[in-house]
Amino acid sequence: MTDSSELDRFLAENPATTHLDAVLFDLCGNAYGKRMPRAHMARFFDAGSPICAAMSLVDVQGNTADPMGYGFSDGDPDANIRPVPGTLVAVPWGDGLAQVLCEPRHAVTGETFWYDPRSVLARTVALLHAAGLRPVVAVELEFYLIDQQRGEDGAPLPVRSPLTGSAESGGKVLSLAKLDEYQPVISAIEAACRIQNLPSSTIISEYGAGQFEINLEHRDDPVRAADEACLLRRVVQSAVRGFGMEATFLSKPFPDQAGSGMHIHASMLGPDGESLFDDRRPDGQKTIGHAVAGLQATMAEGMALFAPNLNVFRRFTANNFTPVTRDWGENNRSVAFRVPVSSGASRRIEHRISGAEANPYLALAAVLAGMHHGIENRLDPGAAHTGNAGIEIDPALPMTPWDALRALRAATILPRWLGDDYPAIYASVKEAEFAAFMQQISRREYDWYL
């Protein structure tokens, strides 16, 4: 718990602060919360503030479907949100604005809610710690810069170059010239990250027109890593608006361009604090194989978490550097579970399945659960794939939202880590969201069937 001493220090260093945003992230990874004036900040840090407890369970539109009786049936009670210690920072895109990350707690008992995404990950990490394991993770996020205007039927338009004013027509992967072209925008993102204590590192130009990737540093605290991934998306989207642009983490904003993913790098430390995947250890290669095998075993169960909307599934096409099988491989980007070129303590797994809009808390929880499951049961991953693993889609994988949700409801492995009821409550929210989505008749439906 925090107290007002953290706030006192911050206000002494930032005397022009007038308002504070209390920020949380819901099931879909969207930010919600409250903005309060300076006069209310001390009381908030000491006692918290009420907010609807069902906000952890709203869909992408912010609607509640009363999943498992939470929202309407229970009288829609309030939670008490409390600041997360050490997360109070300035907001560079808001004059006089500060921000603190919060978590919802039961208004009477003070306990965290089992269905809050941050709590789901914290529970998963606690189970690994109890087994003497300490995961180390890093998140890579891809995104598109797009024009603030929209095209026909609301479709996004390619971003216009800040150098030439022309709309982007194609990507230039790993282009330094493209980074130079967008340097003012990139510099604004990096400056905002520094102010908000987000450990951004490498930035690259990606395959798509106006597509970029930002990497975050490795953390031995996965909850903190997920906090930073959620906040990074908010930083990117806010920082670029001053340049007449928007940023989207939608997986496939343009059907003919590369998709955006959220790649998770993960390794595992043992009770001695040393990496279990270190290839200098006698069992290092076997242990990383066990972890891969656990990810293979849980891939189908977790697809609804890695691919949380209809658009994400548009990424999963053959021969497109997007995982469509459960294969693994060394230095091979066509597989789902890649072991990058690395040695010693840096040896790790890159989980390449999640769309860029996946909830980082839930995606990380599923990844760590799979790794623990494989290590604990000494599972065998099979031979590493050495060629193109993406020639054909594995028919055993759920490649539609409805199939993915059925697989999550039927999960036999993930509930131990996520919580017995979490797969069902997540599926309830998303099933209602997709049902509402399908009520709208699309232009193509008229074109094809009228």
Q: How far apart are CA 245 and CA 240, in angstroms?
A: 6
| pLDDT tens digits, 93-122 | 999 999 999 999 999 999 999 999 999 999
Tell which phi-psi region holds residue 90, choosing left (phi > 0), alpha (psi between -120 and 50) or beta. beta
Please tell me the distance from the alpha carbon of residue 216 to that of residue 442, in angstroms, as a whole number: 38
CA 340 to chain centre: 21
Percent of the chain with pLDDT over 90: 97
Has residue 118 been placed in a domain? no
Residue 15 lies in domain: 4-113
Alpha carbon of residue 395 to chain centroid = 26
Amino acid at 248: T
Residue 120, sorted as left (phi over 0), alpha (psi -120 to 50) or beta, turns out to be alpha
pLDDT value at position 90? 98
Please check whether residues 93 and 156 belong to one and the same domain: no
Query: Is residue 137 domain-shared with residue 234, that is, in the same domain?
Result: yes
Relative orientation angle of helices 401-409 and 284-306, to the nearest 10 degrees: 120
Domain C-terminal end among 113, 139, 158: 113
pLDDT at site 3: 66
Residue 120 covered by a domain: no
212 located within any domain:
yes
Query: Does residue 236 contact residue 357 with C-beta atoms inside 8 Å?
Result: no
Same domain, 183 and 312: yes
Q: In this structure, is residue 249 part of a structural domain?
A: yes
Give, in order, the Cα–Cα distances in Å from 99 to each of 50, 88, 226, 247, 261.
17, 6, 17, 21, 27
Residues 87, 153 within the same domain: no
Quick one: 271 and 410 in the same domain? yes
- Is 119 within a domain? no
Average pLDDT over every residue of 22-35: 98
Confidence of residue 188 (pLDDT cuts 50, 70, 90): very high
Residue 107 lies in a domain: yes
pLDDT at 372: 98
Q: Inform me whether the pLDDT recorded for 450 exceeds 70.
A: yes
The verdict on 295 and 263 lying in the same domain is yes
pLDDT digits (tens, 9 = 90+) for 415-439: 999 999 999 999 999 999 999 999 9
Residues 100 and 169 in one domain: no
Domain boundary among 84, 113, 142: 113
Let me know whether 153 and 253 are in one domain: yes
pLDDT digits (tens, 9 = 90+) for 206-253: 999 999 999 999 999 999 999 999 999 999 999 999 999 999 999 999
Do 50 and 171 lie in a common domain?
no
Which of these, 123, 129, 247, lies nearest to 182 by C-alpha position? 247
In-domain check, residue 349? yes
Task: Select from 79, 113, 147 the last residue of a domain.
Answer: 113
Mean pLDDT of the region 127-156? 96
CATH number of the domain at 340, please: 3.30.590.10
Work out whether strand 349-351 and strand 31-37 pair parallel, antiparallel, or are unpaired: unpaired
- The number of domains in the chain is 2
| Gap between the Cα atoms of 27 and 118, Å rounded | 9
Judge if 314 and 431 occupy the same domain. yes
| 156 phi and psi angles, rounded to 5 deg | -70, 155
For residue 180, what pLDDT is reported? 97
For residues 352 and 361, give the distance between their C-alpha atoms in angstroms, rounded to a whole number. 16
Q: Specify the pLDDT at position 153.
A: 85
- Is residue 2 predicted with pLDDT exceeding 80? no
Could you tell me the pLDDT band of residue 4, with boundaries at 50, 70 and 90?
Answer: confident
Does residue 391 form part of some domain? yes
CATH number, domain with residue 20: 3.10.20.70
- Say if residue 320's pLDDT is above 90: no
pLDDT tens digits, 352-408: 999 999 999 999 999 999 999 999 999 999 999 999 999 999 999 999 999 999 999
> What is the mean pLDDT of the segment spanning 185-195?
98
Does 56 share its domain with 179?
no
Q: Are residues 107 and 210 both part of a single domain? A: no
Per-residue pLDDT, 42: 97
